[in-house]
Chains A and B, each alone.
Chain A
Amino acid sequence: MMKRDECFKILARHVADEIVLATYSSAVEWNDLNPRVLNYFSIGAMGLASSHGLGLALARPDKRIVVLDGDGSLLMNLGSLVTIAAAAPKNLVHFVCNNGCYEANGGHPIPNPKVDFTGLARSAGYAQCHDFSELRSFEQQVGHVLAQDGPVFATLHIEKSRPLKYEYRDLYAASRRAAIKAALQQAS
């Protein structure tokens, strides 16, 4: 079992010009650790981070897209796994933080905490699937995971985090979207 913020600290060391899509609790923690223009916070349209990631990956094959999804979020839109596997974007890396609960919604448990998310992604047809529950193993392999031809999937077995401050108004801010849009237009 790992802590999400520790995973993200490691991930942050490997992220350069990727677009990072983070959802709910992951968005809060990622924003605290690594505020940057190429972050896209997927909030409001619950469960759709991976779908937004697919859209961005297809539209911008020149960029790598890293989705920081949650297990509760993914379960709201599980068919997305099949759609992504079918579209097979090489530049998409889909992390799922598996803490067994809908953390941002009050922490109630997901229906089946023993779901094998990595198995679901493999059966759906993701090219590469990983499962991490030890920080050291994640640290050793994350560089490799990020460099693989996608779609890549990785489950991160994490604990529920410390209490987070969900400042949705700030995460929603129109200025953030305007900034990422401008950065992507410049880079295109």
Chain B
Amino acid sequence: MMKRDDCFRVLARHVTDEIVIPVYSSAFDWLELAPRTLNYYSFGAMGLGSSCGLGLALGRPDKRVIVLDGDGSLLMNLGALVTIGAAAPKNLVHFVCRNGSYEANGGHPIPKVDVDFAGLARAAGYPHCHAFSELADFEAKLPQVLEQQGPVFASLDIEKGALSPKIDYRRLDDPKLRQDFRGAL
């Protein structure tokens, strides 16, 4: 088991000009750790982080797109795995933070906590699928994960870190964030 903020600190060291799409609790943590114009915070349209990521990956094949999804979020739109597997964007890396709960919605558990998300992605057609539960292992393999030809999938077994939760939707709602993002692209 890892802490989400520890994972994101490791990830932030490897991110340069990628588009990063964090959802809900991941969005709050990522905003704290790595505020940057190329972040696209996906919330409101629940579950659609991966679909927004697919659109951006197809629209901008010159950029790598990193989705920081949640297990509860993905379950609301599980068919996205198949659509992404079919569209097969080489520039998409799809992380799913697995904490077994709908954390941003009050922390109630997802229907089944031992779902094999990496297995689901593999069956849906993702060419590279990983599952991480140890920080040292994640740290060692992350550069390779980020460079593989996508769509790449990686589940991260996490729990809340010291950072979480700093829930402030007004901050994420700020239209300036989207304007800056659009401007940067």
Contact = CB atoms under 8 A, between A and B. Distances in A.
Interface in B128-146: none
- Going nearest first, the 5 A-B pairs with the smallest beta carbon separation are A119-B123, A123-B119, A112-B86, A86-B112, A86-B111
A115 interface: yes
Contacts of B75: 79, 82
A85 interface: yes
Contacts of B77: 79
Interface in B75-103: 75-79, 81-83, 85-87
Interface string B162-183: 0000000000000000000000
Interface of A: 75-79, 81-83, 85-87, 110-112, 114-120, 122-125
B28 interface: no
Contact of B116 (A79, A112, A123): A123
Nearest to B117: A123
Given A82-B115, A86-B112, A115 B123 contact: yes
Interface size class of B (residues with CB under 8 A): 20 to 34
A129 to B, nearest CB: 10
Contacts of A75: 79, 82
17 contacts: A78-B78, A78-B81, A78-B82, A79-B79, A83-B112, A85-B115, A86-B112, A110-B82, A112-B83, A115-B85, A115-B125, A116-B122, A119-B122, A122-B119, A123-B115, A124-B116, A125-B114
Contacts of A123: 115-120, 122-123
Nearest to B109: A86
Contacts of A86: 111-112
Contact of B112 (A77, A111, A116, A125): A125
Given A111-B87, A123-B116, A124-B116, 7 more contacts: A83-B112, A112-B85, A112-B86, A119-B122, A124-B112, A124-B115, A124-B120
Given A85-B112, A123-B115, A124-B112, A78 B79 contact: yes
B37 to A, nearest CB: 32
Given A112-B124, A119-B119, A123-B116, A79 B85 contact: no
Contacts of B115: 82, 85, 123-125
B82 A111 contact: yes
B25 to A, nearest CB: 19
Contacts of A117: 123
Contacts of B82: 75, 78, 110-112, 115
Contacts of A124: 112, 115-116, 120
A180 B113 CA distance: 35
Contacts of A118: 123
A122 to B, nearest CB: 7
A111 B86 contact: yes
Contact of B79 (A76, A83, A114, A125): A76
